[in-house]
Amino acid sequence: MFLTDISLKRPIFAIVVIIALLAVGIVSFLGLNLNDMPETDLPYAMINIVLPGASPDQMESKVTKVVEDAVGQISGVKHITSRVGESYSMTAIEFDSSRNSDDAAQDVRAKMSGIRGSLPDDIQEPVISKVDFNAMPILSLAVSGDLDEAALSELVDETIVPALNAVEGVGSIDTYGLLEREIEINVDKERLAALNLTINQVVGGLSSDNIDIPSGKIADDSREVTLRTYSGMKNAAEFENVIIASINGTEIRLGEIAEVVDGYKEKESISFYDGAECIGMDIVKQSGTNTVAVTDEIKAKISQMQASLPQGININVVSDNSEFIRSSVESVQSTMVEGCILAVVIIFLFLRTLSSTVVSAISLPTSIVTTFAAMKMMSQPSRP
């Protein structure tokens, strides 16, 4: 009754309020993120540990059991699920919905730091991550061309990936079929035994020569200079010259006891596009960003880069999640308009009065558009 009285006694005021609500709703609608799924922040954490050469039984007893006992003591843990395989252990921790995901992940990191000494010394550094259910690729690309595999991998790794990472809203880029450089050292066991050397001496010699450490500072009245000791090796020849040991005053270099090969790692994945081998890329957006806007920015960057790439190199879009979102939103918008028109027509057919029909024709879109303002305030994305 209050709203009715206000509208009847002060019609100008009511009209101004309706126009204001429509304006706020339209501005909010234009500022909504377009995503296919709602933004969620579920308190899940994941622990991945790799122990090269360990059997599943060893991983379970020496790694997984220790991790489960430790994280089970964290407040708010609801479920712990582990998966063990050859050389790896993966543990998923689900917390109560009352826990903040960032705080939960931090508690897991703190607990893992406390038990690091109880785990085998030769494990790789545990990877602790917060599970983001929105971290799905929004765009998949395929890079192909006339370059050889090594040159194409270098182009993708040093030029294309850094350029796309710089686009606002890009969270991470996963590559597939990329060649990664690797220095292989094949030790001659017989030569090693003849010189009475051990593998540990070889490893020690390499570790002491391949370093990059801070060495202090030099300062005067006007400036300060930071010093670093750098002895990093970049090619096979530099590795061959590393001194492993000294026997009776004679220096033994790595090249005398081992073959050093400047090659590439064995590929763990392979990608094809239109039947030809290529390098694939999956692009994941940052949490809370607009899928459609980020995808448009990436495509614009690709078009800009294409002109500067070597002749014959193509960046092709394999899948684009924004196309589905865009078409779905357009379909919802047209359905809303059709629904409003149909509702107004039905009201006119039943009531047969122009005034009541006009009221419905104004109130229906006003209520719908105003809803977008509430969605914006609650940071809810617009989705199909």
Q: Write out pLDDT tens, residues 77-87.
A: 889 999 998 88
Predicted confidence band of residue 133 (pLDDT cuts 50, 70, 90)? low
- Position 311 in a domain: no
Q: What is the pLDDT of residue 265?
A: 81
- Position 116 in a domain: yes
Mean pLDDT of 241-267: 81
Do 49 and 122 have their domain in common? yes
Q: Which of 223, 241, 264 is the last residue of a domain?
A: 264
Q: Check: CB of residue 144 under 8 Å from CB of residue 314.
A: yes
Which of 144, 139, 174, 165 is CA-nearest to residue 310? Answer: 144
- Pick the range with the lowest mean pLDDT from 203-217, 252-266, 331-345: 203-217
Domains in the chain, number: 3
What CATH number is attached to the domain comprising 62? 3.30.70.1430
Most confidently predicted of 188-197, 226-235, 272-281: 272-281
Q: What is the pLDDT of residue 210?
A: 60
Do 32 and 98 have their domain in common? no
Q: Which residue has the higher pLDDT, 32 or 190?
A: 190
Q: What is the pLDDT of residue 64?
A: 92
Q: Check: CB of residue 180 under 8 Å from CB of residue 268.
A: no
pLDDT beyond 70 at 226: no
Do 334 and 368 have their domain in common? yes
- Position 238 in a domain: yes
* Rounded CA separation 62/69 (Å): 12
Q: What is the pLDDT of residue 160?
A: 92
Which of 4, 73, 79, 3 is CA-nearest to residue 43? Answer: 79
What CATH number is attached to the domain comprising 253? 3.30.2090.10
Mean pLDDT of 120-126: 87
pLDDT beyond 90 at 31: no
Do 61 and 16 have their domain in common? no
* Rounded CA separation 88/55 (Å): 9
Predicted confidence band of residue 161 (pLDDT cuts 50, 70, 90)? very high
Do 63 and 29 have their domain in common? no
Do 124 and 191 have their domain in common? no
- Position 314 in a domain: no
- Position 280 in a domain: no
pLDDT beyond 70 at 165: yes
Q: What is the pLDDT of residue 297?
A: 92
Q: Give the global pTM.
A: 0.66
Which of 325, 329, 378 is CA-nearest to residue 139? Answer: 325
Q: Please give the order of strands across the beta sheet that includes 127-130.
A: 77-85, 88-95, 44-50, 127-130
- Position 60 in a domain: yes
Percentage of the chain exceeding pLDDT 70: 88
Q: Which of 130, 159, 194 is the last residue of a domain?
A: 130
Q: Which residue range forms the structural domain that includes residue 250?
A: 182-264
Mean pLDDT score of the chain: 82
pLDDT beyond 60 at 213: no
Torsion of CA 316, 283, 320, 287, to 10 degrees: -160
- Pick the range with the lowest mean pLDDT from 5-9, 66-70, 167-171, 291-295: 5-9
Name the 3-class secondary structure at 90.
strand
Do 24 and 55 have their domain in common? no
Find the DSSP H helices in the chain.
2-9, 11-31, 56-59, 65-71, 101-114, 149-155, 161-165, 189-194, 199-209, 236-240, 254-257, 291-306, 321-351, 354-377
Q: Which of 215, 241, 264 is the last residue of a domain?
A: 264
pLDDT beyond 90 at 298: yes
- Position 288 in a domain: no
Residue type, 282: D
Do 194 and 255 have their domain in common? yes
Most confidently predicted of 58-67, 96-105, 253-262, 352-361: 58-67
pLDDT beyond 80 at 63: yes
Mean pLDDT of 294-321: 90
Percentage of the chain exceeding pLDDT 90: 14
